[in-house]
Chain A
Amino acid sequence: MAIADVKEYTHLTDEEVEQIGRELDALRKEIEESRGASDAEYINRLIKIQRGLAFAGRVTLLLSNKKPAWALGASMLGIAKILENMEIGHNVMHGQWDWMNDPEIHSSNWEWDTAQPAEQWKHSHNYIHHQFTNVLGYDNDIGYGVLRMAREQRWSPYYLGQPIYNALLAGLFQWGVSLHDLDLERIRKGKKDPKEMKRQLKQIGRKIRGQIAKDYVVYPALSGPNWKTTMTANATANLMRNLWSYMIIFCGHFPDGAMHFTEEELEDETREEWYLRQILGAANFTGGPLLHILSGNLGFQIEHHIYPDLPSNRYPQIAERVQALCQKYDIPYTTGPLHRQYGQTLRTILKLSLPNHMTKDKNPTQPERSDTANTYEQDLRRKSDAERQPRRTELGGWSRGGKQRMHD
C-alpha cells in the first residue's frame, strides 16, 4: 500500500520528526565543513584512473582481432564507461563536487559518456526523481513508463510481456535513459509541447551522433582490418555498462521495503517529512569498497537521497550515522546483499506482470488506512513542469550551464 503520510506511517510525533530534521541538517553541515584536500584528491584521482582505463581500452582494441586483446580491451572500456556514468558523471552532475569551484569538474557543464544529454538528465533525475521520489504519478522512475512496478498502477494485458520489456530495457538501458526526459507517455497522449519535444530531440540527436560515431565508426576505422572486432568489443563494453547500471539502479527503489507514496504526502511536505520519505523510499545494498565505487556508491541509495549533493566518497561515513538515527527512532532502513536486493526486484517485475488478484501484496497492510484503500483510482497521468511543485532546496546545489534551457 502506498503511504499518504510519513509521520503516521512511522508512528512519530511532531517533535520527533522535527528533531530528526535537525539531526540530519546538523550532519549535513558537519560533512560540508569537513570537505577538503583529500576529497578533492579522490575525485581527481578517480577521473585520472577512469580516463586512463578508457585510453588503454581503446588502444588495446586496435588489436581487437586477437581474442585476449578483445577481451581485455572490452573489459577496460566497459569499466571505464561504468565508472564515468556512475561514480563520476552522475555525481558531478548532482553538484557533489561544485564546492571545489573547479569549472572542469562542475555540474554546470559536465557532459557524460552516454546517449542522454546532461541537461535532460539533470531535469528528469536531479529534479523530478529526487524531489518526487517514489510518489505515484509524479516519479517517472517508477517503471520508467515501460514497466509496472507498483500495485497501484492499473494492470493491462500489455504487462504480460513485462519480463521481455525488462530484458530489453536492461540490454538497451543507455537508450532508454536517453529518451527518459522526453516523456514518451506524454507524447503519446498528445500532452507534450511540440516545440520542446523538437528541441529535446535535436539535443538527443546531436549527443547520439557523437556517441555512435565514436564507438561504431571512428574507432573501428582506426583499427583498420580489425574494424569488425573493434565494433563488437565496443558494443560489448556498452552492453556491460547497460546491464550493470540497470541492475544497480533498479536496486535503488524496487526491493521490498522501498515504499511508494501518494500525492497526499506531497501536500505541505516539510523538510523533515521530505527526509523521511527519502529514507523510506530508497533501498541500500551491502558490499566492499570496490563494489561501492563501481556502483557509483548507489549502495548508499538512502544516504544519496537524503544528501544528493554531498560527495559520494562520504556516503559510507554518513551511512553509519543515518543507520544509528533510524535505529533510534525505529525507522525502517532497507538494506541487504546485492543479489537479494536484485532478486526481490526481479520477483516484483514478474509478479506485477500479472493482475493484482493473482498475487499477494508484499507490503504489510496498515489497518485503519482509509487514505490508501482506493489508490487504484489515483490520477497517475504524467505531469508537466507547470503541474509540479517547483524545485526544493533540499535537492541541494547543482547548476545549469549557459546553454541549458527550461523544460516543459
Chain B
Amino acid sequence: MAVSTIIPWERVRTVGSRLTTPLHPDDYLSLVNPLWSARELRGRVEEVIPETDDAATLVIRPGWGWRYNHSPGQYVGIGVQVEGRFQWRSYSISSPPKRNGRTIAITVRAMPEGLLSSHLVKGLAPGTIVRLASPEGDFVLPDPPPAKILFLVAGSGITPVMAMLRTLDRRGSMPDVVMHYSSPNAERMIFREELDALSEKHEGLTLHKLHTDTDGMLDFADLDDFCPDWREREVWACGPSGMLDAATEHWKDADLEDQLHLERFSLEVGGEAEGGTVTFQTSGKKAEADGATTILEAGESVGIGMPYGCRMGICHTCTLTLVKGAIKDLRNGEEYNQPNEQVQTCVTAAMGDCTFDI
C-alpha cells in the first residue's frame, strides 16, 4: 500500500507547517531542491532546442503544484531573474497536454527589441530555475474538435496551434484541417519539418505556406483561393496584431464573428468593482474605467507606459502608488484605500475616482 493512501500528502504538509510556522515546509525544502516548493510555481529548464536562427524551444520541468492538464492553445507565464529582478512574459505552450508527462515546452522567438525573448532564446542555460504561472487562456481547441477547422498563423503565432496539432495527432482525432502559415522565409519558419511530416501523415491536414519576404503578406480577399469553404470552418488565428485586426474585419463583414477565435494574452478576472475616473497625476491623463477594467488596462488605454510583468497578480512588477481613492482586488474583493500605499494594478479596478503616481 502506498504511503499516500494511509496519510494524505496534504495532511503531512499541514502538520509539517507547525514545525516551520510562520514559514511553510516548502520554504525549507526549496533550499534543498528548488522544485520542491508549491508556494510559487517553478520549473527547471531541461533543454534549449534551437528551432531556427532566432527561435528556440525551452523544455521545462515544472516543480510541485503543477497540474499537467493544460488545454492545447493555452499560454503560460514564465518569470526569469535578470540582474536580480524577475521579468515575466507569457508564451503559448507548444507541447500537447500529457497525463504522464513531466515537462512542458514553450517556443520563443527572439524579438529584436525584446530583451527577455533574446535572453531566453540565446542566453538561458539548462538547469536555470524559472518561475511559472498556471496555464491560462481561452484560445483553446475543444475536445472533441470541430469537424472542419481553419488555422491562420503567422510567425511565432504558430506555437499555440502547434500544441493543438500535436494534440490532434496524439489523440488520433485530426479532422478536416486547413492551415495557412506565413513566415518571412523558409529558414525562419518554425516547425516546418514537423508540419510537413504531419501533413503527410494525416490526409485531413492541408498545409499552405506563405513566405512573406518574397510573396507579400496574406490578403484575406484571397482566402477563397486556398480555402473556398472557409465560411463553414471554425477558425483559430494567431499572429501579429495587424493580421488579427484584418481577420476580425473580414469575418465581421461575413457576419461570422463567432467562428473566429483569436489569441489574447489577457487575464479573466472574476470579480467586479464600481468603476470610476482614474487619474494619472504625473501626466495629468484621465481614464474612465468600468468595474471590470483593471487599472493597468485603464492606463494603457490612455497611452501611459504602465509597468507590468505577469499581468496576473503574482510578480508585483505593476505596483504603483495609489495617491488617493480606493480600488478593489478583483481576485478576492480586498479593498485598498490608504493614501500613498503601494498597490498592484494588473488585478485591481477602481472603486470610485482614484489617483495614481505615474
Q: Which residues of A line the B interface, CB within 8 A?
A: 35-41, 48, 51-52, 55, 58, 95, 98-104, 106, 108, 111-113, 207, 210-211, 213-214, 218-219, 222, 390-393, 395, 397-400, 402-403, 406
Cβ contact of A37, chosen from B28, B84, B336, B340, cutoff 8 A: B84
Q: Which residues of B line the A interface, CB within 8 A?
A: 18-19, 21-23, 27-28, 31, 39-40, 79, 81, 83-88, 309, 314-317, 319, 321, 329, 331-332, 334, 336-344, 357
Chain B CB within 10 Å, residue with most, of A38, A100, A112: A100
Cβ contact of A39, chosen from B23, B84, B329, cutoff 8 A: B84
* Distance, CA A103 to CA B316, complexed state (A): 7
Cβ contact of A397, chosen from B22, B329, B339, B342, cutoff 8 A: B342
Closest to B320 in A: A397
Given contact pairs A103-B40, A393-B340, A98 touches B22 in the complex (Cβ within 8 A): no
Chain B CB within 10 Å, residue with most, of A103, A218, A400: A103
Given contact pairs A35-B84, A106-B316, A399-B343, A55 touches B28 in the complex (Cβ within 8 A): yes
Contact at B22–A402, with CB atoms within 8 Å? no
Q: Shortest distance in angstroms between A375's beta carbon and chain B's nearest beta carbon?
A: 29
Contact at B316–A101, with CB atoms within 8 Å? yes
Judged by DSSP, the binding face of B is: loop
Cβ contact of B342, chosen from A58, A95, A402, cutoff 8 A: A95
Contact at A37–B83, with CB atoms within 8 Å? yes
Contact at B316–A108, with CB atoms within 8 Å? yes
Given contact pairs A207-B22, A210-B21, A218-B19, A390 touches B338 in the complex (Cβ within 8 A): yes
Closest to B21 in A: A210
Cβ contact of A211, chosen from B21, B79, B309, cutoff 8 A: B21
Contact at A52–B85, with CB atoms within 8 Å? no
Residues of A within 8 A of B86 (CB): 100-102
Contact at A393–B83, with CB atoms within 8 Å? no
Given contact pairs A213-B18, A218-B19, A390-B338, A98 touches B83 in the complex (Cβ within 8 A): no
* Distance, CA A37 to CA B88, complexed state (A): 17
Residues of B within 8 A of A48 (CB): 31
Contact at A393–B84, with CB atoms within 8 Å? no
Chain A CB within 10 Å, residue with most, of B28, B84, B85: B84
Q: Shortest distance in angstroms between B175's beta carbon and chain A's nearest beta carbon?
A: 42
Closest to B17 in A: A210
* Distance, CA A46 to CA B332, complexed state (A): 33
Q: Shortest distance in angstroms between B121's beta carbon and chain A's nearest beta carbon?
A: 20
A-B contact pairs, 14 of them (CB 8 A): A35-B85, A36-B84, A48-B31, A55-B28, A98-B319, A101-B87, A101-B309, A104-B27, A104-B39, A210-B22, A390-B338, A391-B338, A399-B316, A403-B334
* Distance, CA A395 to CA B357, complexed state (A): 15
* Distance, CA A299 to CA B85, complexed state (A): 27
* Distance, CA A54 to CA B231, complexed state (A): 66
* Distance, CA A390 to CA B22, complexed state (A): 30
Contact at A397–B21, with CB atoms within 8 Å? no
Cβ contact of A112, chosen from B22, B40, B338, B344, cutoff 8 A: B22
* Distance, CA A99 to CA B319, complexed state (A): 10
* Distance, CA A39 to CA B329, complexed state (A): 31
Contact at A100–B338, with CB atoms within 8 Å? no
Cβ contact of A40, chosen from B18, B27, B31, B84, cutoff 8 A: B84
* Distance, CA A49 to CA B316, complexed state (A): 26
Residues of B within 8 A of A104 (CB): 27, 39-40
Contact at A397–B321, with CB atoms within 8 Å? yes
* Distance, CA A113 to CA B23, complexed state (A): 8
Closest to B323 in A: A393
Q: Shortest distance in angstroms between B37's beta carbon and chain A's nearest beta carbon?
A: 8
Residues of A within 8 A of B40 (CB): 103-104
Closest 10 CB pairs of A and B: A40-B84, A111-B22, A390-B339, A210-B21, A101-B86, A391-B340, A399-B342, A36-B83, A101-B315, A37-B84
Contact at B81–A391, with CB atoms within 8 Å? no
Residues of A within 8 A of B28 (CB): 51, 55
Contact at B336–A400, with CB atoms within 8 Å? yes
* Distance, CA A392 to CA B83, complexed state (A): 29
Residues of A within 8 A of B319 (CB): 98, 397, 399
Contact at B340–A392, with CB atoms within 8 Å? yes
Residues of A within 8 A of B39 (CB): 104
Q: Shortest distance in angstroms between A52's beta carbon and chain B's nearest beta carbon?
A: 7
Contact at A402–B340, with CB atoms within 8 Å? no
Given contact pairs A101-B309, A397-B319, A400-B341, A219 touches B19 in the complex (Cβ within 8 A): yes
Contact at A214–B85, with CB atoms within 8 Å? no
* Distance, CA A393 to CA B342, complexed state (A): 10
* Distance, CA A58 to CA B25, complexed state (A): 14
Residues of B within 8 A of A98 (CB): 316, 319, 342
Q: Shortest distance in angstroms between B339's beta carbon and chain A's nearest beta carbon?
A: 4
Closest to B357 in A: A393
Q: Shortest distance in angstroms between B232's beta carbon and chain A's nearest beta carbon?
A: 47
Contact at B85–A101, with CB atoms within 8 Å? yes
* Distance, CA A222 to CA B344, complexed state (A): 42
* Distance, CA A267 to CA B18, complexed state (A): 48
Residues of A within 8 A of B18 (CB): 210, 213-214, 218
Closest to B30 in A: A104
* Distance, CA A312 to CA B334, complexed state (A): 31
Closest to B314 in A: A103
Q: Shortest distance in angstroms between A29's beta carbon and chain B's nearest beta carbon?
A: 16
Residues of A within 8 A of B329 (CB): 402
Contact at A40–B81, with CB atoms within 8 Å? yes
Given contact pairs A37-B84, A100-B84, A402-B332, A391 touches B341 in the complex (Cβ within 8 A): yes
Residues of A within 8 A of B31 (CB): 48, 51-52
Q: Shortest distance in angstroms between A218's beta carbon and chain B's nearest beta carbon?
A: 5
Contact at A393–B316, with CB atoms within 8 Å? no
Contact at A390–B340, with CB atoms within 8 Å? yes
Closest to A213 in B: B18
